[in-house]
Amino acid sequence: MKTLLSGIAATILLPSLAALADTTLKIERVHYCSPKDETIIMKAVKSAGASAAIEDKPAANFPQKAFATVVITSGWWVAAVELIPTANRPFIGGSTTDSALQLLLGYDGLGRIFGGSGAGPAGPSGGGGIGANFSGEAGILRLFNAEFAGQISWFIPFALIALVSGLWLRSRAGRTDKALAGYLLWGTWLVVTGLVFSFMSGIVHTYYAVALAPAGAALVGAGTVELWGLRARSWVGGVVLAVAILASAAWAWALLARTPDFAPMLGPVILLLGVITALLIALPVRYVGGRQATVVLVVAFAMLLAAPTAFAYDTMQTAQSGGDPGAGPKVAGSGGFGRAGAGGARPDGGQGIGPGGQGGQGGIGVPPEGAPPSGGSFGNGPGGGGSAVSQGVLDYLVANRGDAAWIVAVSGSGSAAPIQLATGLPVMTMGGFNGGDASPTLAEFQAYIASGQLRYVIVNGNGGGPGGGGSSDVTSWVTTNCTAVTVGGTTIYDCAPTS
């Protein structure tokens, strides 16, 4: 028994090995070798008058190498940021210690998964309570609830059936089979990511579901091809494919029933076409085959794509605001900030009001075009608890801006964004997203004032202000050293240096 080099190298060496006639060779497959390459190798062995067996040889230390690859590819950015002196880089927003590693292990990382163990800059994240506001209660069926389902679940039944079918059909293909590798890759992606989203007890936004889309699409496509090919050989392929189509059609009908005012006839039509196309595909090829079967399959997928396409169109036609945008019409009773659509209209004509968020800030909506939200003011929302700002205040800030880089400084992005959108001019977001980051420091803030880059500051009415709780010294300095000006009931602090 002799061992030769594996893979393609064998096709080069073996033809010259006539001296090994009547020898049994063992060829080890260390790397991927296609069936075509193996056929060439075996022909070369046979032409040399020898016989051979090709066997797999697992790569040495594969688990360790895989783990090292994950650590390096996922952690290089965190390591690079941590190695840069804090004075030479921006503040790491959302962290309490200006550390990317702390953010990863806390608020924006493990805190999202385990809830209360990850405290954000505005205090404990609240774990499941906050997560439930955005995406419903944690559990195995979370991806099918009122918040998540319309975002991603349309093809999950089909994808799961395709995964099981593909693994079954490819179970004897061998470790190096590309299709089997694909099912394992995409299936692991779909199942693991889906389970993590289902059981996360921290903040879970429904738009995270986009991470499931590549895996779901790959499994549906591969499974359809696999089952379509099996249908040509056995009635089993047609039946399983029909079940996948019917299950997806029934689920689309159920999802659309949650928003009865949105395309009310679409659900029944999808269900009817789903039953018809599933029955036709389940029939043996001798009854429905060739072009007829192809047309039926095309109609089936056009039908399955109709509902998510309608949701996508609705999303493009609907204004959204806040920190939790979603696709399609809003389902009655679902949580989330700023999601609009059928059933989500504001009483004043705007779209999508959400519940209070982190730090006690209220939800915000999108006002009718050109108008402020109810009460005639801009501001207030997730990402900052600042007091609302009227159109008169905006006019005052713009008219008196002078050469300042920012027209005003406010706490949190939820307060800054509406002002910037309304004026089209830069607004300084103090304290990061929630207004709780310790950035800028008092010294940095004073430098902005002294250089004339910033003049006006609005301290919110909830006791917070620039930098929120993380920079109360900035707030104290502003209220002590700047001149209070009242415009339309709003107090603006003019921090221009006195001559």
- What is the reported pLDDT for 120? 41
Tokens 């349309």: give the residue. 154
Q: Is the peptide bond before 440 cis (omega within 30 degrees of 0)?
A: yes
- Positive or negative, the CA dihedral 120, 123, 127, 128 is negative
Contacts of 274 (CB under 8 A, 6+ apart): 245, 246, 248, 249, 250, 252, 253, 300, 303, 304
Which residues of the chain are under the pLDDT cut of 70? Answer: 1-35, 45, 48-50, 52-60, 116-133, 322, 333-388, 460-471, 499
Please, what is the angle between helix 178-199 and helix 213-231, to 10°?
A: 140
Please, what is the angle between helix 156-169 and helix 178-199, to 10°?
A: 140
- What is the reported pLDDT for 182? 95
Note the Cα 107 to chain centre separation in Å: 17
- What is the reported pLDDT for 116? 63
- What is the reported pLDDT for 266? 96
**Within 10 A of 453 (CB to CB), how many other CB atoms are there?**
14
From CA 192, how far away is CA 218, in angstroms rounded? 15
From CA 304, how far away is CA 253, in angstroms rounded? 10
- What is the reported pLDDT for 330? 84
If you write DSSP's letter for every residue of 226-247 in order, what string do you get?
Answer: HHHHHHTT-HHHHHHHHHHHHH
- What is the reported pLDDT for 313? 93
- What is the reported pLDDT for 385? 46
- What is the reported pLDDT for 351? 31
| All structural domains of the chain with their residue ranges | 2-56, 62-127, 135-317, 378-494
- What is the reported pLDDT for 486? 92
Q: Are strands 389-390 and 377-378 parallel, antiparallel or unpaired?
A: antiparallel
If you write DSSP's letter for every residue of 387-439 in order, what string do you get?
Answer: PPEEHHHHHHHHHT-TT-SSS-EEESHHHHHHHHHHH-S--EEETTTTT-S--
Amino acid at 334: S
Tokens 């979603």: give the residue. 326
From CA 130, how far away is CA 318, in angstroms rounded? 25
Q: List own/partner pairs for 266-269 with CB under 8 A and 24 or more apart.
A: 266/306, 266/307, 266/310, 267/307, 269/303, 269/306
**Residue of 197, 208, 209 lying closest to 152 (CA atoms):** 209
Residue 211's alpha-carbon distances to 153, 189, 206, in angstroms, are 12, 9, 10
- What is the reported pLDDT for 219? 98
**Within 10 A of 125 (CB to CB), how many other CB atoms are there?**
25
Tokens 């006195």: give the residue. 498
The structure tokens listed for 65 are: 């190498």
- What is the reported pLDDT for 415? 87
What does the pLDDT look like over 143-172, one tens digit per residue? 999 999 999 999 999 999 999 999 999 988
- What is the reported pLDDT for 110? 87
